[in-house]
Amino acid sequence: MTDIDAGELAKSRHYDWAPLLLLPLLAIAALPLIGSLSTWATLTAAGLAMGMIIFIIASGLTLVFGLMDVLNFGHGAFISVGAYVAAILLVPLSGLLQADSLALNILALLALIALAMVATGLLGWAFERVIIMPVYGQHLKQILVTVGGMIVAQQLIIVLWGPVQLSFPLPTAFRGAIVLGDVAIERYRVIAVVVGFLVFAGMLLVLNRTKIGLLIRAGVENREMVEALGYHIRRLFVGVFVAGSTLAGLGGVMWALYREELTPGMGMEVLVLVFIVVIIGGLGSIGGCFLGSLLVAVTANYAGFLAPKVALGSNILLMVLILLWRSRGLYPVANR
């Protein structure tokens, strides 16, 4: 065995597998409580789909948290704005969205998503310049101004689109369910899982295979040392913030499609789950964020079926239990 092989072996021995067991354990534990295999499968698929959408939204926030130690409660604004801006194209593209053609449906949906991502990317850039930049290193002020920013965005949505709930219908080809024996899984949930995996794989690819990714991972651990090596972390941060905003825009469209409706407060509502995910995953950890998203969403679905009255608190309980086990989250980033 070469020396480098010995290093690889040591690395594999040190990989922390324990948190990965939580999701299968949770699913197995829920099966006898739910009783019906088809109901369990439906709830699990719904939970995985919801978890993927939460991951898309939360992944940008955890990097912003980890990289620049910024508490951005305004992240919810990007979710709402992304969904509402995409809705602008619902009427002009209704022909394509309601056509009996998967290709046309996808084309129209891609147009909606592109518009949402461009809008939230630009909003993210402006948000960072105007709201975040003056309060670096000041957590209390960050909370105040970013919450303020989100309230302003929410009120602007009410001014422009009104306070009432709007419909956000699924494209024709995405409706209906795939039936496997007694189990029916909605098509859109399968698509959400696929998109979530693609985003996760893309992020892992960028973080692990590119110099930019290497800089982001290093910056999450030790910003000062990255600067001492000759890299302007401030420029990196702006890029990450904008990327996180665009992902929130994508997540906003997917969340609206999941619920098939829009409300001005939708960003704020999902933000609570997003923060739970970021905390239990470990600040700045993409792997932790992915696992945390799935755990939070699957728990919410099981709890909603088994005990609707306590469903709201189920994720708080999950967070408490995980933090009692690992006080810095499932996959804590070193030095944080």
Partner 1 sequence: MSETAPLLQLDGVNTHIGPYHILQGVELMVPRGGLTMLLGRNGAGKTTTLRTIMGLWHASAGRVRFDGAEITAWATPDIARAGIAYVPENMGIFADLTVRENLLLAARAGDIDEGRLRWVFGLFPALKKFWSLPAGFLSGGQKQMLSIARAVIEPRKLFLIDEPTKGLAPAIIMNMIAAFRELKQTAATILLVEQNFMFAKSLGDTVAVMDNGRVVHSGSMAELAEDRDLQHRLLGLSLDSHQ
The widest CA-to-CA distance across the chain, in whole angstroms, is: 68
- How far does CA 266 lie from the centroid of its chain? 14
Please say which residue, 1 or 140, places its beta carbon nearer to partner 1: 1
Looking at beta carbons only, is 29 or 205 nearer to partner 1? Answer: 205
Looking at residues 10 to 29 of the shown chain, list those that interact with partner 1 (rule: CB under 8 A).
10-11, 14
Q: Per rule CB under 8 A, is residue 1 in the interface with partner 1?
A: no
CA 153 to chain centre: 20
CB 329, min distance to partner 1, A: 13
Comparing CB distances to partner 1, the nearer of 69 and 227 is 227
The 164-203 site mask, x for binding partner 1 (CB under 8 A), equals: ----------------------------------------
User: Residue 74 or 284: which CB sits closer to partner 1?
Assistant: 284
Pattern 118-157, binding to partner 1, x per CB under 8 A?
A: ----------------------------------------
In sequence order, what DSSP letters do the residues of 121-153 get, joined into one string?
A: HHHHHHHIIIIIGGGTT-HHHHHHHHHHHHHHH
Q: What is the DSSP letter of 179?
A: E
Spatial CB neighbours of 183, under 8 Å, sequence gap ≥ 6: 37, 38, 41, 42
Separation between Cα atoms, residue 140 and residue 147, nearest integer Å: 11
Residue whose pair of structure tokens reads 């899982």 in the numeric block: 193
N-terminal to C-terminal alpha carbon distance within the chain: 35
Site pattern 230..249 for partner 1 (x: CB under 8 A): xxxx----------------
| Nearest residue (CB) to partner 1, 211 versus 309 | 211
Q: With binding defined as CB under 8 A, does residue 205 bind partner 1?
A: no
HSE value, Cβ hemisphere, 13 Å, CA-based, for 212: 11
The β-bridge relationship of strands 183-186 and 177-180 is: antiparallel
Nearer to partner 1, 161 or 231 (CB): 231
- By CB atoms closer than 10 A (0-12, 13-18, 19+), residue 161 is middle
Applying CB under 8 A, the span of 6-14, 17-25, 244-252, 299-307 interacting with partner 1 comes to: 6-14
Q: 278: buried, middle or exposed (CB in 10 Å: 19+, 13-18, 0-12)?
A: buried
> Alpha-carbon distance 34 to 155, whole Å?
41
Nearer to partner 1, 24 or 230 (CB): 230
DSSP conformational letter for 173? G
Site for partner 1 in 247-276 (CB under 8 A): none
The values of phi and psi at residue 70, to 5°, are -105, 125
Q: Which residue number, 10 or 21, has a Cβ lying nearer to partner 1?
A: 10
Q: Which of 102, 225, 312, 320 binds partner 1 (CB under 8 A)?
A: 225
Q: Is 204 a residue that touches partner 1 (CB under 8 A)?
A: no
Among 88, 135, 143, 218, binds partner 1 (CB under 8 A): 218
Q: Which stretch binds partner 1 (CB under 8 A): 104-112, 226-234, 272-280, 305-313?
A: 226-234
Tell me the site size for partner 1, rule CB under 8 A. 28
Q: Tell me which stretch binds partner 1 (CB under 8 A): 1-9, 122-130, 181-189, 299-307.
A: 1-9
φ/ψ of 167, rounded to 5, equals -85, 140
Q: How far is the CB of 187 from partner 1 (least distance, A)?
A: 38
Tokens of 61: 């926030």
The Cα 25–Cα 215 span in angstroms is 35
Instruction: List interacting residues with partner 1 (CB under 8 A).
Output: 3-4, 6-8, 10-11, 14, 211, 214-215, 217-218, 221-222, 224-233, 333-335
